Amino acid sequence: MRSFRFPFARVSPLLALIPLVAAALLLSACGEGGGDAAGGADEALTVYSGRSQPLVDGLVERFEEQTDFDVEVRYGTDAQLLSVMQEEGQQSPADLYWANTTGALAQARQANLLAQMPDSLTQQAAAFQPQSGRWSPVTTRFRTLAYNSEAVDTTALPPSVLELPELSQFEGRIGWTPTYSSFQDFVTAMRATHGADSTRTWLNQMQELNPKSYSSNTPMIQALADGEIDLALTNHYYVLRLKHGGGEGEYEGEEEGEEEDEASEEEEAEEATRPGAPVEMYRFADGDVGNLALVTGASVMRQSDQPQQAQQFLQFLLSPEAQEFAAQQVNEYPVVEDAPVPEYMMPVDRALSMSPQLQFDQLQNLDATLELMREAGLM
């Protein structure tokens, strides 16, 4: 197994074109030499991954043990990977794209980057099958309202996230993450299910509660545990990570000049685990957008010269072994039936029944969501 991280720094939009081109050239160079002739029998399967290295590397190692070909993983955020793949076009070495969000998969489909896949893959998931047939769900996270159990009486909480702005007693005591992709997907789903006007009203009314904004979910959940806030709109696994441990599922990248130290990251995650923390999850009524399932997924690339191998890898990701590994490693829910989850997680069937039914290809229109959020002063 070989790994590669796309070398993006946080720079201006104009300068960002430079690393795009450089990354494309580097990818081309990586595909040459080393005994891997393009299309040859010894060519490694190339996976572009928006998922985290602790999750992906563990699964790749298991897959390589069961097959007779190597896998090369190239890591980046969904936005970085989409930019690179569109820059590379038909010359892209990517055989499979494993995305952190269905919005990114919908954008890739819209750009005609994804291959049509057989029903045996697209219909294997028990839920959230895309109409397009261009990608398959792999794991699921759920939106939830986390609360400090020492400060909040759940009988005061509403049945719908749309009613959250009515809780004036929590003014200045609610946390959210407007710049985070999962929150933006949640707002996009609200637009799809309730309309732009209702979503705009909700954002404006939430602003009147003076919520505290966080750059990511982990510090927000720590603040919740410390009593700095009482409520937090988040994903379920951040609460489980705090109380039971586990890694991050999303590839978050590094700042320029930083080097990744997996050992220290594991130690920090262990130190951050607080089994007795007064943090619990409140579930809204069944079907409420506040319980939204956020699906991760993968697809074979249209230009891949080894689609059968890519399908085989995707089939492995949907196996009970891989699904259980994801649940144990990052506390995400399986999408196939009969895959076990840790006993501290809600049963899969119950968790799935709480999410609204939504065609996830609808999450591709992120621009309208960002515009609403700008109008509300969140960006």
Say whether pLDDT at 298 is over 80: yes
Cα dihedral 344→339→357→364 (10° resolution): 100
Taking alpha carbons only, the member of 227, 223, 253, 254 closest to residue 238 is: 223
Alpha carbon distance 101, 99 (integer Å): 6
Top pLDDT among 366 and 243 is at 243
Q: In the 8-state DSSP scheme, what is residue 1?
A: -
Confidence band, pLDDT 50/70/90 cuts, at residue 23: very low
Closest CA to 101 of 157, 180, 9, 35: 180
Q: Mean pLDDT throughout 225-229? A: 97
Range from 31-40, 78-87, 91-100, 135-144 carrying the lowest mean pLDDT:
31-40
Q: Dihedrals φ, ψ of 116, to 5°? A: -70, 135
Q: Quote the tokens at residue 249.
A: 């599922």
With a cut of 70, say whether residue 253 has pLDDT above it. no
pLDDT at residue 256 in the model: 34
* Residue 40, pLDDT above cutoff 70: no
At 6 the pLDDT is 60
Pair 38, 305: CB distance under 8 Å: yes
pLDDT computed for residue 106 by the predictor: 86
The angle, 0 to 180 degrees and rounded to 10, between the axes of the packed helices 181-194 and 102-110 is 70
Do 37 and 108 touch, CB atoms closer than 8 A? Answer: no
Q: What is the rounded distance in angstroms from the CA atom of residue 338 to the CA atom of residue 340?
A: 6
Over range 222-233, report the average pLDDT: 97
Among 214, 195, 354, which Cα is nearest to 290's?
A: 354
Q: Is the pLDDT of residue 267 over 70?
A: no
What are the residue ranges spanned by the domains of the chain? 2-139+294-343, 141-293+364-375
Give CA–CA dist 74/98, Å, rounded: 10
* Higher pLDDT, residue 336 or 302: 302
pLDDT in tens, 177-200: 998 888 988 999 999 899 999 999
Does residue 11 surpass a pLDDT of 60?
Answer: no
pLDDT above 90: residue 285: yes
Cα-Cα-Cα-Cα torsion 84, 89, 90, 96, nearest 10 degrees, comes to 40
Q: What is the pLDDT of residue 336?
A: 86
Indicate the helix (H) or strand (E) that contains 321. helix 320-330
Please check the confidence at residue 264 and state whether its pLDDT lies above 60. no
Average of pLDDT values for 143-172? Answer: 97
Q: What's the CA gap between 81 and 41, in Å, rounded?
A: 26
Model pLDDT for residues 194-224, shown as the tens digit of each residue = 999 999 999 999 999 999 999 889 999 999 9
pLDDT at residue 38 in the model: 39
Was domain 141-293+364-375 assigned CATH 3.40.190.10? yes
CB atoms within 10 A of CB 42: 10
Closest CA to 228 of 177, 273, 170: 170
DSSP state letters, 324-348: HHHHHHH-PEESSTT----TTSPPH
Q: Tell me what pLDDT residue 3 has.
A: 67
d(Cα 24, Cα 102) in Å, to the nearest integer?
A: 24
- The radius of gyration computed from the CA coordinates of the chain, to the nearest angstrom, equals 21
Q: Tell whether the model's pLDDT for residue 236 goes beyond 50.
A: yes
Is 35:244 a contact under the CB 8 Å cutoff? no
Q: What pLDDT is recorded for position 5?
A: 67
Over the stretch 47-103, which tens digit does the pLDDT of each residue have?
999 998 889 999 999 999 999 889 999 999 998 999 999 999 999 999 999 999 888
- Say if residue 231's pLDDT is above 90: yes
- In whole angstroms, give the CA distance from residue 20 to residue 375: 30
The gap from C-alpha 356 to its chain's centroid, in whole angstroms, comes to 18
Strand (E) or helix (H) holding 296: strand 293-300
Three-class SS state of 207? helix
Assess whether the region 2-139+294-343 and the region 141-293+364-375 belong to the same CATH fold. Answer: yes
**Residue 237 or residue 253, greater confidence:** 237
Mean model confidence pLDDT for the chain? 84
Inform me whether the pLDDT recorded for 4 exceeds 70.
Answer: no
Could you please state the CATH topology (level 3) that the domain comprising 2-139+294-343 is classified under.
D-Maltodextrin-Binding Protein; domain 2 (3.40.190)
Residue with tokens 């002739």: 37
pLDDT band at 316 (very low <50, low <70, confident <90, very high): very high
Show Cβ contacts of residue 351 under 8 Å, excluding neighbours closer than 6 positions. 140, 142, 236, 293, 333, 345
The Cα–Cα gap between 140 and 119 comes to: 20
Q: What are phi and psi of 341, to 5 degrees?
A: -130, 160
pLDDT above 60: residue 9:
no
